[in-house]
Amino acid sequence: MANDQEFFLGLAAKGKDTWNKWRRADIDRRVTFAGIDFSEAPKDQIDFRGSNLATIADFSECKWRGGLPEDHAVFVPGMAFFAGAKLGAWAKFTCADFGSWADFTGANFGPSSDFDGAIFGDFASFRAAYFGAGPRFCGGSLRLCQL
């Protein structure tokens, strides 16, 4: 799993265009970032906005520090920024800590997305996000902000 995570982190750090090109060639591969601390450099520079994470993307127990941007469409280092991302079926964010701000604006989740036990700090935006059947938000903390 560690080798897979290093591969995925390296690919994600190159940006959405590189990530999405790889994803088109390997659409069924399970992606795992489980347990990664995105609040620390250099991982705090990874912006998932517009990325095609496809089926079974695991962000369980990941950590971000958040940070409210002045312009809500701009990435801030350490922020969970998934605006416009395609997360597909079984996106897993169980026990993730999103810090002070997380942006899922326009994200597309397939069925069975799981946010059980996730901690959202001050704000989270799911404006215009699509959820397939059965999203779970149990046992965590969530305060939604629509901008």
What CATH number corresponds to the domain at position 2? 2.160.20
- What confidence category does residue 147 fall into, taking pLDDT thresholds of 50, 70 and 90? very low
Question: Does the global pTM surpass 0.85?
Answer: yes
Bond into 77 cis (ω within 30) = no
38: containing domain: 1-147
**pLDDT computed for residue 123 by the predictor:** 84
Distances (CA, A) of 16 to 10, 68, 77, 124: 12, 22, 16, 22
C-alpha span between 78 and 86 (Å, rounded)? 20
Q: With a cut of 70, say whether residue 72 has pLDDT above it.
A: no
- Please give the average per-residue pLDDT across 78-101, as a whole number: 94
Domains identified in the chain, total number: 1
- Please give the average per-residue pLDDT across 44-60, as a whole number: 94
First and final CA of the chain: distance in angstroms? 37
Name the residue among 70, 114, 118 with its Cα closest to residue 92.
114
- In one-letter notation, the amino acid at residue 136 is R
